[in-house]
Amino acid sequence: MNRTITNTTLLENPELCTLATCPLDLAQVQYVPSLAGNMLYIIILCLVAVAQLWLGIKYKTWTYMVSMLFGLIMEVVGYVGRVQMHDNPFLSDPFLMYLTCLTIAPAFFAAAIYLCLSRIVVTYGEEISYLRPRTYTILFISCDFVALMLQSAGGGIASSADNNGDQELGINIMIAGVSWQVFSLALFGVLCAEFAFRVRRTSTSKRSMMFTVLRSTRSFKLYHIALGCATLAIFVRSVFRCAEMSEGFSGKLANDQITFMILEGAMICLSVILLTVLHPGLVWKGQWRDAMWHVRSRAKTQTDYTALEMQNRSASTSV
């Protein structure tokens, strides 16, 4: 009789389960998360975070550094949740911690990549681009903000839900955020390809003379490749997470550890390593700030010109 009551209690409250008392079918994921694999990712991400902090301070790439560090911290917290699940995969708090943090974190890495495009446009010449450098930044940071808000809101609802209905609502909102991120990354890739096509059609004499030396360096050329590979890695990861979450927690993808470790963990580690090894401070040196100043000064000049033009029109009308 007592054993029947105990079994019933465990079925109704899986969080009371342990690996010795319950089957994995009742766990948050139907496998025991690898301790070695998740610890390896934690070590890699921590080392990258230290490197990003040091490089960011040294080269004063503040916005880039903050964006990368936020993402890396959330990644580490997410994998700490998975390490906790190694001992007990039935607990919901570590599961929600890993689900929420690892879903949101790549939005910060995408933001760091988006910051680079406007400066790349400046190095070749604003006249070559269809859009102004600042427009690229505003457009994609806005897209990233929407994705981040959806994922954060969904994660908050899912982690604080008292019933399955609210938890499912939170997860659906997170799926919408990840889907929007996939769209944003795809649009980013299209506009980058369009700009690259314009550059190829433009003669060298019409490109910006201020950054001629920078463009000729091998590191700057490798920097383009690194950004492209990092973006592709985040895109692959985002498509995977969108498909995984769409199937639900009982789906095949959500319960395949090898696929997760490759298409989530390995893709993100590859991305952040590339964004660190070819850090903009190492590639651009002081010209990273020069490009940023150029974008801001041109935007201010345009604003002043527009204000002056409106003032002149107003004066002409009054006369």
pLDDT, tens digit only, all 319 positions of the chain: 344 435 555 555 666 777 777 888 888 888 999 999 999 999 999 999 999 999 999 999 999 999 999 999 999 999 999 999 998 898 888 988 998 899 999 999 999 999 999 899 999 988 898 888 889 989 999 999 999 899 888 888 877 766 767 778 888 898 899 999 999 999 999 999 999 999 999 888 888 888 899 999 999 999 999 999 999 999 999 999 999 988 877 789 989 999 999 999 999 999 999 999 999 999 988 788 777 666 655 555 444 434 434 444 454 444 4
56, 112 Cβ separation under 8 angstroms: no
Q: What is the four-CA torsion angle of 310, 312, 314, 315, rounded to 10 degrees?
A: 170
Closest among 20, 42, 44 to 32, alpha carbons compared = 20
> Rg of the chain over CA atoms, in angstroms?
24
CA distance linking residue 301 with residue 298, whole number of Å = 5
**Cα dihedral sign, 64-95-243-268:** positive
Q: What token pair was written down for 108?
A: 């910060």
CA distance linking residue 295 with residue 233, whole number of Å = 28
Residue 24 is given by DSSP the state G
CB-count exposure of residue 218 (10 Å: 0-12, 13-18, 19+): exposed
pTM score: 0.86
